Homo-oligomer: A and B are copies of this chain.
Amino acid sequence: MATRLERASEDLTAKARIRDAALRLFAEQGFEAATIRAIAAAAGVSSGLVRHHFGSKEALRDACDSFALERMIAIKEQAWVVGRLADPGFLASVYPSVLEYQRYVARSMVDGSSASAALFDQMVALTEQWAVAGRLPTTPADPRAFAAALVAMQSGLLMLHDHVSRALGADVLDAAGQIRLGNALVDLYSNPLLTAEQAAQARASYEQVRSRLVDGRADGDSGNDSGIGSDSDSDSGIEG
């Protein structure tokens, strides 16, 4: 199906238009907030047709998941944006449409789609094996944690793209803003944020907390801690 037309935005199948509208509205408003009626209106069809083509709202989400996944697999094993940043011509070939799918996937990760969890793991595994492949200037000590952090952070960039755009005064999803953000990312990825001494100091701080943890107080308060309190901490801050 949908083999007739390849591009041509309005001449798509109604089913494809519904899927595209769902992709966009799910990404923009979240799964709960995006109603079937709003999706149908955005696609220019009746709400009943959504059900006719996709059974239920959850099935529509699944269809969006697998479609976005399929479209992103086409840009295979690029380890999110990071790995391809150094590849000239990467931008022009990729970002026109795939970024939209990445945005959807990133948003669906916080909305708790089941497919997105598997996708996250897949991207982490991909990034991990990219991290240990020796293409990085320095191979991380904990590649899995490194990869998980990197994927989550990169997803945050997409999820908060409108906030980032507002802060920059340019839409980071179109070409102009993308270039500015991309350059900033190159800056961020090519220069360390911490000096070697700072890093060693931080690691020592963690080690100190860790040893205190395995020692005495297991401190097993699980989550619903007061929240009120913890005021009398040292507020000696950054300076000094």
- What secondary structure prevails in chain A residues at the interface with B? helix
Q: Are B150 and A156 in contact (CB under 8 A)?
A: no
* A186 part of interface (Cβ distance < 8 Å): yes
Which residue from B7, B164, B166, B190 sits with its C-beta under 8 Å from A149? Answer: B164
State the CA gap A88–B238 with chains docked (Å).
11
Q: Are B238 and A136 in contact (CB under 8 A)?
A: no
Which residue from B2, B86, B204, B208 sits with its C-beta under 8 Å from A201? Answer: B86
Q: Are A145 and B227 in contact (CB under 8 A)?
A: no
Closest to A20 in B: B227
Partner-contacting stretch, out of A8-16, A45-53, A54-62: A8-16
Q: Per-residue 0/1 for A30-44: is the Cβ within 8 Å of any B Cβ (1 yes, 0 no)?
A: 101100000000000
Query: Could you name 20 residue pairs across A and B whose Cβ atoms are closer than 8 Å?
Result: A5-B228, A23-B227, A24-B223, A74-B231, A75-B235, A87-B237, A87-B238, A97-B229, A137-B191, A140-B187, A141-B184, A145-B168, A145-B184, A150-B188, A152-B159, A152-B163, A155-B156, A156-B159, A191-B192, A192-B192
| Given A86-B194, A147-B167, 11 other A-B residues pairs in contact with their CB atoms under 8 A | A20-B227, A86-B201, A96-B225, A96-B230, A120-B160, A137-B195, A140-B191, A153-B154, A186-B202, A189-B192, A190-B194
